[in-house]
């Protein structure tokens, strides 16, 4: 029984690796990371740390206007061969597609995606609301577009590279997606109110990522259960897995 369980587990791991983390991608030492929203703040620091902490590894740093991202350009001078700066505005899907095309042509895969972009306030355009009377449709829509819709679209377009990337060239076995949410996006933790647009957009981001997590988890779980239960009916299992794969992806 234990042997059967271990065997099933082994098959599951192998299958997951083969389906999602193909090793056919050319291995670049240190892997390839993408930081979206890298012109300043936390995103910029992620880029800096990824470049400084290891001697290998490529970083794709995206921002709306690379020419005006002076700190990123300074890093480029020091890490020219490892840092690739691309334009990407999360409110403009074609720029996400263009970045995806460049990543496909240059690297072919990704090991890490960090979505760091986000807005809370923009002078003369967007202010965190302190009362209901200050809530504007335009603020709600803009914040939602940048903080919730943007990251999920970036994940969508980078998904093919994350799938084939897996842990290629890194110590990990799987690729990682990290989105910078915020504690104020928690409904349970909301004891103060206010910041309608920002809070709601981060709550939406959390939900989008949880849906994505569940989709992947359910797919893996269904494969695992079917392999455990009906190892002797491998053909049926593989057909079921294929159907699941089509549904999820």
Ligand X SMILES: NC(=O)c1ccc[n+]([C@@H]2O[C@H](COP(=O)([O-])OP(=O)(O)OC[C@H]3O[C@@H](n4cnc5c(N)ncnc54)[C@H](OP(=O)(O)O)[C@@H]3O)[C@@H](O)[C@H]2O)c1
Site residues, ligand X (CB under 6 A): 37, 39-43, 63-65, 89-91, 116-119, 146, 180, 182
Burial pattern 28-61, b for ≥16 Cβ within 10 A else e, equals: bebbbbbbbbbbeeebbebbbebbeeeeebbbbb
**Distance, C-alpha 89 to centroid of its chain:** 15
Q: Which is nearer to ligand X, 93 or 136 (CB)?
A: 93
Give me the least distance between CB of 142 and ligand X, in Å please: 9
Residue 110 is encoded by which pair of tokens? 């990704």
Q: Which is nearer to ligand X, 57 or 118 (CB)?
A: 118
Q: Which is nearer to ligand X, 12 or 69 (CB)?
A: 69
The DSSP H or E segment spanning 86 is strand 83-87
Entry field: residues in the chain: 249
Give me the least distance between CB of 231 and ligand X, in Å please: 45
Q: How far apart are CA 36 and CA 155, in angstroms?
A: 10
Q: How far apart are CA 187 and CA 181, in angstroms?
A: 13
Q: Which is nearer to ligand X, 65 or 80 (CB)?
A: 65
Q: Which is nearer to ligand X, 116 or 200 (CB)?
A: 116
Give me the least distance between CB of 159 and ligand X, in Å please: 19
Q: What are phi and psi for residue 131, nearest 5 degrees?
A: -140, 165
Give me the least distance between CB of 124 and ligand X, in Å please: 14
Residue 31 is encoded by which pair of tokens? 């892997």
Give me the least distance between CB of 219 and ligand X, in Å please: 28
């Amino acid at each position: 029984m234990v042997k059967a369980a271990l065997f099933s587990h082994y098959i599951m791991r192998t299958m997951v690796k083969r389906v999602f983390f193909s090793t056919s991608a050319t291995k670049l030492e240190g892997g390839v990371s993408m930081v979206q929203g890298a012109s300043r703040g936390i995103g910029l620091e992620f880029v800096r740390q990824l470049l400084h902490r290891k001697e290998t590894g490529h970083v794709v740093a995206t921002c709306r206007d690379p020419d005006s991202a002076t700190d990123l350009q300074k890093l480029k001078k020091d890490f020219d061969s490892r840092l690739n700066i691309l334009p990407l505005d999360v409110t403009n899907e074609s720029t996400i597609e263009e970045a995806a095309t460049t990543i496909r042509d240059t690297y072919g895969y990704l090991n890490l995606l960090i979505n760091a972009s986000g807005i809370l306030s923009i002078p003369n355009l967007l202010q965190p609301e302190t009362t209901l009377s200050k809530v504007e449709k335009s603020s709600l829509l803009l914040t939602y577009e940048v903080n919730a819709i943007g990251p999920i679209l970036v994940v969508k377009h980078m998904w093919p590279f994350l799938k084939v990337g897996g842990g290629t060239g890194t110590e990990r076995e799987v690729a990682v997606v990290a989105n910078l949410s915020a504690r104020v996006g928690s409904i349970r933790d909301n004891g103060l109110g206010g910041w309608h647009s920002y809070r709601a957009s981060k709550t939406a981001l959390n939900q989008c990522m949880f849906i994505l997590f569940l989709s992947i988890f359910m797919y893996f779980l269904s494969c695992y259960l079917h392999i455990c239960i009906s190892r002797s009916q491998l053909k049926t299992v593989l057909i079921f897995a294929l159907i699941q794969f089509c549904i999820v992806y």
